[in-house]
Structure 1
Amino acid sequence: MDTVVYGPAVAESDRTAAIRNYGLDPGADGGAPLLADGDAAGALTNLVRLAARLCGVPYSVVNIITDDRQRQIAASGVDPAVCSRDDSMCAKVFLAGRTTVVPDASQDPRFVDNPFVTGVIASVRFYASVPLETTSGFVLGSLCIFSEGSASPTAEQIGMVEVLARQVVEVLELQHRTLQLSDALAELQRSNAMLGEFAGRVSHDLRIPLTTILGYVELAEDDPDIQPGHPALEYLEFIGRGGRRMLRTLEDVLEYSRVDGGLRRERVSLLAVTEEAAHDLGVELGFASGISCADAELLADPVQLRMLLQNLLANSLNYRSPERDLKVAVGAAVTRQGVTVSVADNGVGILPADRKRAVEPLVRLNRAGDAPGTGLGLATCQRIAHAHGGELDIQGTPGGGATISALFSWELSEPAVRP
């Protein structure tokens, strides 16, 4: 008997679980296994047809071998079927670590009593089997070609079947990775939902006492018994300043947690959304503010685009250079990938060594002269860019300053609106 060659750390009793990880349903009712991906099923059917045609034999199948059964997930010339592992021809050789070619199975001691050879199930004579070994060394089953009559494929033809077997494995590996990605995406969505729920609850629970404290601070500041110069005024100012800063932090955390939720993408005007974002900051576009915007149409979630522009404009206002009048240019560039929205200013800029850290949540650069902040503005912009299929990019502006851009990908858009 051939020596068994098995994949790393996969016990024979764990075969069924490992096979399920590849999107294959062994089935509890004895039925044929189901592929999770319809495209994968079509690809495997084409591969087995090609294998049979290449070798001039009528039958070809992809067998998945569980701990107790052989299940055919694709077949040419026969209908996919299920049999016990004890009756399977491939189960006897698929772990041998090499291709098995048998000119006449009725003369081979390994198969002479097999029901697929004796006529109980079939009367196989020519038989060839190629193991389906994954990149991790786990053998899922076999690509098998066979005939009830004689056949003499050449070594080159058998070599081509081995190539097709590797393609079968590639299809199954792709399905495996797709399932892993789907699981990771589902976990990410669950995590984001929990983050949003937690942030909303904490924000609500903390906002009420904070607003109450700030309300009493304002009442105390207006108390006629507390005149200018009274020592309590300084303490009230500290309390009010700290409370307002905490409220801003709560709002920023809540805003950050809500990004990556359900996108409501629609056609929006960059100029219109920029005007709204600037208005939220108490400024207007034009010569007086130093902020200009070139209009463009893009597909984006208008709320998230406004949030991104508001954060970037706020940074330009907060980190302006004391040596020159502020100038901020909001623009857009249309590419095959999507629309890249950029905000370029002539402020103090961000050093190349600090650009990676600048987009991390709750990280502040703490440079001399910097305005106070929570360290969530650029991190929120990064999440908005990711939610729209793009990236946030930080570069220097010629002459000084920072140019921050975000790609809004076409991939989530209707083909009709692509350039």
Structure 2
Amino acid sequence: MTSAAGRLTFSNDISRDLELLEYGLDPSLDTPLLPNAAVMNALQNLVRLATQLCGAPFGVVNIISAGHQHQIGAWGVNPGVCSREDSMCAKVFLSREKTVVPDASRDPRFADSPFVTGEIGRVRFYASVPLETESGFVPGTLCVFSETAQELNPAQVDMLEVLARQVVELLELQHRTAQLDRAYVELEESNARLAGFAGRVSHDLRSPLTTMLGYLELLQDDPKINAVPGAAEDLDMIGASGRRMLAMLEDVLTYSRVGGRVQPENVSLQAAADEAMWDLGIADQNIVEVQELTVYADRVQLRALLQNLLSNAMNYRSDHRGLQIRISGVSNYHGSTVLVADNGKGIAPEDRSKVLEPLVRLHRDGDGPGTGLGLATCSTIAKAHGGDLMLSETPGGGTTVAVSFPAA
């Protein structure tokens, strides 16, 4: 029959292994837990520094799971795995106190350890500092040791504690990296589900809507219907509403698809702008000036972004001056920033964050048609590339949209 203490220990062991998984370390493996390469190299350098400061030939960072001790950083020895029962650090690390033992063979806590008796090693001097996170979790220790007895002075003990805190910082970095990796995977899965759902809904709605518009066109061509007073105007109104709904479905589908997995490459801003202008039928209207720039971006999504921004500029043009749009950019070692500036109505500062939300429109007099997804789509494209989108006022009036694209 399992005792209450046994059940508590088992529960704590499960909790410890789950906590280690949160740090990207899989304790179910009987091989050394492996941090990512950058963290591993930094850990090795810290352990090396610890051995030099303490005058000891060997040092390790130990992670202690429910059943094992895993050496994830080492100097002077090859990292390995042993049972938790054999571990010297496992006997003291949960005390949250530093341990300095001049001769482990004379200490009752360690005298029968296989690392002391010669079965695994002949450790004499041993010093360890628990690795305690801000949450109070202690994943293991930083320890140094040698096969000869020795002492540490207070300054050396202090430095060992400082280095232990640096090890904790590295483990927290791995923790945050693991959390970001999981969040990214979940986001990709969510985007895929959203795109699939939007595709199905769009298809299910587009089919009957397209059929309805087809029958509507037949009615509009019927002379008997047109002979009825007001019928033609009513049919035109129904047709306009149906086409707006169809356009909204297309916009929703496009919005659901962007921002997922991008395939960046070096893209000519001039070429992407030319394609967007051709799609909108404004290639020959001399209203757009484009500065050549190489942008590291997904070609299709950059074209979609420019198409949305050009469409917005046309929809919200000023009543007092002819439309002019300038597409330019700047580039440095950080990446590129694409600027699309128009001389239209502009967007008031208090409305700039609002219009980046999906399906938000300002409903101003004289505004062109739209679904409120254009700028939201552009913002999503920017974020998918690891960049951002910012709105500001064009000198002289209008809106300037700045979209950043990080370097490769």
Fold match (TM-score > 0.5): yes
**1:154 is the counterpart of 2:150:** no
Q: Deviations over 1:351-390 (max 9, x none)?
A: 1111001111111122233223111000111111222332
Question: 1:111 Cα deviation (Å)?
Answer: 2.9
Q: Distance in 2 between matches of 1:159 and 1:313?
A: 62
* CA deviation profile, 1:282-337 (whole Å, cap 9, x unmatched): 223554xx332233333332322221111111111111111222222222222332
Q: What SS does the corresponding residue of 1:220 show, helix, strand or coil?
A: helix
Mark the CA change 1:203 to 1:167 in structure 2 (over 3 Å): closer, same or farther: same
**Alpha carbons of structure 1 residues 356 and 243: separation in structure 2 relative to 1, 3 Å:** same
Matches within 5 A, 1:166-177: 166-177=165-176
Measured in 1, the distance between the counterparts of 2:349 and 2:296 equals: 30
Who is 2:281 aligned against?
282
Assess, with a 3 A threshold, how the Cα gap between structure 1 residues 330 and 83 changes in structure 2: closer, same or farther: closer
Cα distance in 2 between the residues matched to 1:15 and 1:109: 27
Asked whether the equivalents of residues 27 and 33 of structure 1 are also in contact (C-alpha less than 8 Å), the reply is: no
Match of 2:248 in 1: 249
Contact 1:321/1:347 (<8 A) preserved: yes
**Residue 117 (structure 2) pairs with residue 99 (structure 1):** no
TM-fit CA distance, 1:36: 4.1
- Residue of structure 2 equivalent to 1:50: 49
- For 2:83, give the aligned amino acid: S
Residues 13 and 182 of structure 1, relative CA distance in 2, 3 Å threshold: closer
Counterparts of 1:252 and 1:318, CA distance in 2: 15
Cα 1:408–1:67, aligned 2, differ >3 Å: closer, same or farther?
closer
Give the letter aligned to residue 87 of structure 1.
Answer: D
Aligned to 2:3: none
C-alpha distance after superposition, 1:257-301 (max 9, x if no partner):
1112343434433233223222322223554xx332233333332
Q: 1:80 to 1:283 in 2, by over 3 A?
A: closer
Q: Which one-letter code corresponds to 1:137 in the other structure? A: G
Task: Tell me: CA distance 1:303–1:77, structure 2 relative to 1, closer, same or farther (3 Å).
Answer: closer
Deviations 1:1-45 (A, max 9, x none): xxxxxxxxx9444111211222223245xx332214233333322
Match of 1:401 among 394, 398, 403: 398
The 1-side partners of 2:76 and 2:266 are apart by 52
In the TM superposition, what are the counterparts of 1:24-43 in structure 2 within 5 Å? 24-28=25-29, 31-43=30-42
- Provide the identity percentage: 58
Q: Which residue of 1 aligns with 2:299?
A: 302
Distance 2:122 2:294 in 1: 68
- Residue 272 (structure 1) aligned with residue 271 (structure 2): yes
Work out whether residues 275 and 285 of structure 1, in 8 Å CA contact, stay in contact via their aligned partners in 2.
no
Matches within 5 A, 1:323-338: 323-338=320-335
Deviation at 1:244, TM superposition (A): 0.3
Q: Which SS does the other structure have where 1:365 is aligned?
A: coil
Q: Letter of the aligned partner of 1:132 in structure 2? A: L
The count of corresponding residues between Structure 1 and Structure 2 is 398
Residue of structure 1 in register with 2:8 after alignment: none
Q: Residues 236, 35 of structure 1: CA spacing in aligned structure 2 closer, same or farther, 3 A cutoff?
A: same
User: Secondary structure of 2:94's partner?
Assistant: coil
Q: What is the CA–CA distance in structure 2 between the aligned matches of 1:116 and 1:384, rounded to whole Å?
A: 57
The verdict on how the C-alpha distance between 1:65 and 1:294 changes in structure 2, with shifts beyond 3 A counting, is: closer
Residue identity matched to 1:376: L
Q: TM-score, normalised by structure 1?
A: 0.88
- Matching residue of 1:129: 128
Equivalent residues of 2:33, 2:71 under 8 A apart = no
Instruction: Say if 1:386 and 1:88 are closer, same or farther in 2 by CA, change over 3 A.
Output: same
1:192-271 to 2 correspondences below 5 Å: 192-227=191-226, 230-271=229-270
Report matched runs for 1:39-78 at 5 Å: 39-78=38-77
Q: Give 1 or 2: higher helix fraction.
A: 2
Contact 2:288 2:325 in 1 (8 A): yes
Alpha-carbon spacing, 1:41–1:112, altered in 2? closer, same or farther (3 Å): same
The separation in 2 between residues aligned to 1:267 and 1:70, in whole angstroms, is: 48
d(CA) in 2 for partners of 1:385 and 1:292? 22
Relative to structure 1, is the Cα distance of residues 21 and 305 closer, same or farther in structure 2, using a 3 angstrom cutoff?
same
Q: Offset of 1:93 from its aligned partner?
A: 1.6
State the Cα distance separating 1:52 from its structure 2 match.
1.7
In structure 2, what residue type is equivalent to 1:409? P
Tell me which moved more, 395-404 or 338-347: 338-347
Deviation of 1:120 after TM superposition, in Å, equals: 4.1
Kindly indicate whether the alpha-carbon contact (under 8 Å) linking 1:61 and 1:76 is maintained by their aligned counterparts in 2: yes
Matching residue's letter, 1:106: S
- Are residues 324 and 169 of structure 1, via their aligned partners in 2, closer, same or farther at CA, if it must alter by over 3 Å? same
Change (3 A) 1:136 1:82: same
Structure 2, unpaired ranges of 5+: 1-10
1:390 is aligned to 387
Shift of 1:70: 2.2
C-alpha change, 1:264 and 1:114, in structure 2 (3 Å) is closer
What is the alpha-carbon distance in structure 1 between the residues aligned to residue 332 and residue 284 of structure 2? 26
